[in-house]
Amino acid sequence: MAKKDVVIKIENLGKSFGDHEVLKKIDFEVREGEVICIIGSSGSGKSTLLRCINKLETQSCGKIYYRGKEISENQKQINEYRSKVGMVFQSFNLFNNKTVLQNCMIGARKVLHVPKEEAYDRAIKHLKEVGMAQYINARPAQLSGGQKQRVAIARALCMNPDVLLFDEPTSALDPEMVGDVLNVMKELAKSGLTMIIVTHEMAFARDVSTRTIFMDKGLIAQDDEPANMFNINNPNERTRVFLSRFIAEKTGENVDNTKEAVDAAKITNQIKKKFVVTFARGFGTGGKEIASKLAKDLGIHCYENRILTLASQMSGVPEEEFIEGNEKLIRKQKGIAALLGGMNRSKSPIARKNFTSDDKLFESQSKIIKELADSDESCVIVGKCADYVLKDYTNVVSIYIEAPRNFCVRRTMENMKCDEATANRTIAETDKFRADYYEYYTNGNYWTNPVNYDMTLNSERMGIEGCVAHIKSLLKLKGYIE
């Protein structure tokens, strides 16, 4: 059977924010009627890729072709391209001051200059398809999240798109609303509409996609048929690790003697209900290692540096500016140390006046942390004031890891391959910044106060494995795991 025409072609696409390379040499084609699901960890570049395809982000290098014609940075050409390549966002983006019907008609009327009667007919047709025709006079504020997303899909369909892009369309929905939206998208897939979907819904990606793309660290790690991608014998190790738990749970494979499923077999406890574990720790205590080991044992994600990367993308603050701000603060503190003496730094306007370089970044980090806590996936979050940001959440378990200074110095010397003086200086500067960071953003000394944590552990006395075992015992006691 002859191959269908290529609708979109991505060639050597790259995207950087400052020195941080988010997308690296992306190449793939989208043919008519294909349903391509893009999966991968948060921070792997999935949404950035989709935004580049829709020209909401300008790629740093590479080319995007639509039906053989390169899309330039000319705004008129971009607008024409977007009228054919529509996008459905996770945040709906409906006009709150307009009815459901008006939201669906406005694009066809204003962009495509379709007559009013035809725009009306299109709107009614597609609202019926998504089960929202009875709400034509309602306003978005009167709708649930799932209903808003179905209206957003109908609105996109009213433009008669050649290709429809979905950016995690169910991530902002309550679990009971997800099914309705996914069912609509399944029907669209059956209709032959060309779609590119960024999703965390693995079962949906397996069942609906004609091709699945797995992204890792800004690269396409695998582009394959779902039967090969979601296979316990997938030869791509990185993909297999990412999907191991899903495959083991959904396929019912016996993994006891299967070498390829070793990561799923190592999961030591079954999760009973959603939870988030936050970690605060001193430098050299092994806190990050404990968090990573806990996440691997439970088969869940551990978020640390990826939160900074995502927040940088969201806020527009380059990561290097955040790092420069940190270094500037440290230099500033050294310069005024004699003046401040033993004064509580959190009360000193002199020490605080330049500590604003990353306010916007912290706001974005907090938003991401809350989104993770509001999702239906359990996870581990290290640092970034996550314990404070989520202090009012009932399903959060907060952990503080401490250790004697000599223990931290030894570990730092081993990990950094440095001498004792360098290790001491690194610990002092890092912990000083962390203390200031917490004091500034939590309006007090939240970081070292044990009453703010569900559990405080000494990693020297208990060891890495012992700390992990104690945390799992607490999770079991609270009913989160078996």
Q: What is the DSSP string of 1-68?
A: -PPPPEEEEEEEEEEEETTEEEEEEEEEEEETT-EEEEEE-TTSSHHHHHHHHTTSS--SEEEEEETT
Of 242, 267, 285, the one marking the end of a domain is 242
Q: Are residues 191 and 301 in the same domain?
A: no
Give the residue ranges of DSSP H helices in 353-455.
Answer: 359-374, 386-389, 405-416, 420-442
Q: Are residues 214 and 113 in the same domain?
A: yes
- In the three-class reduction of DSSP (H, G, I as helix; E, B as strand; rest coil), residue 166 is classed as strand
Q: Are residues 184 and 91 in the same domain?
A: yes
Q: Residue 315 carries which side chain, given as an amino acid letter?
A: S
Contact 31, 197 (CB under 8 A): no
Nearby residues of 77 by Cβ (< 8 Å), 6 or more positions away: 71
pLDDT score at 65:
94
In a domain? residue 441: yes
In a domain? residue 109: yes
pLDDT score at 265:
40
- Return the C-alpha torsion angle 272, 274, 280, 285, nearest 10: 30
pLDDT score at 435:
78
- In the three-class reduction of DSSP (H, G, I as helix; E, B as strand; rest coil), residue 282 is classed as coil
In a domain? residue 413: yes
In a domain? residue 265: no
In a domain? residue 390: yes
What CATH number does residue 57 fall under?
3.40.50.300
260-292 pLDDT, tens per residue?
333 434 456 778 889 999 998 888 899 988 998
Of 225, 242, 259, the one marking the end of a domain is 242
Q: Are residues 228 and 303 in the same domain?
A: no
Q: Are residues 331 and 403 in the same domain?
A: yes
Query: Among 169, 25, 15, which residue's Cα sits nearest to residue 86?
Result: 169
pLDDT score at 97:
86
What does the block give as tokens for 373?
């806590």
In a domain? residue 332: yes
Q: Are residues 203 and 311 in the same domain?
A: no
Domain span holding position 308: 276-477
Distance CA 281, CA 402 (A): 6
| pLDDT < 70 positions in the chain | 1-2, 172, 174-176, 245-268, 305-306, 308-310, 312-358, 445
- In the three-class reduction of DSSP (H, G, I as helix; E, B as strand; rest coil), residue 149 is classed as helix
Q: Are residues 67 and 190 in the same domain?
A: yes
pLDDT score at 244:
73
98-124 pLDDT, tens per residue?
899 999 999 899 888 999 999 999 999
Q: Are residues 210 and 292 in the same domain?
A: no
Distance CA 165, CA 37 (A): 10
Q: Are residues 102 and 204 in the same domain?
A: yes
Of 222, 242, 262, the one marking the end of a domain is 242
Q: Are residues 191 and 336 in the same domain?
A: no
Distance CA 413, CA 432 (A): 19
pTM of the model: 0.54
Distance CA 12, CA 34 (A): 21
> How is residue 246 annotated by DSSP?
H
| H or E element that contains 125 | helix 116-129
In the chain, the N- to C-terminal Cα span, in Å, equals 51
Q: How many domains does the chain have?
A: 2
| Backbone angles phi and psi of 288, in degrees to 5 | -65, -40
Contact 157, 128 (CB under 8 A): no
Place of tokens 């250790």: 403
Q: Are residues 101 and 199 in the same domain?
A: yes
- β-bridge pairing 379-382 and 276-281: parallel
In a domain? residue 250: no
Q: Are residues 324 and 416 in the same domain?
A: yes
Contact 426, 418 (CB under 8 A): yes
In a domain? residue 221: yes
Contact 169, 191 (CB under 8 A): no
Distance CA 387, CA 393 (A): 10
Place of tokens 């993308």: 313
Which residues does residue 276 pair with via DSSP β-bridges, in sequence order?
379, 396
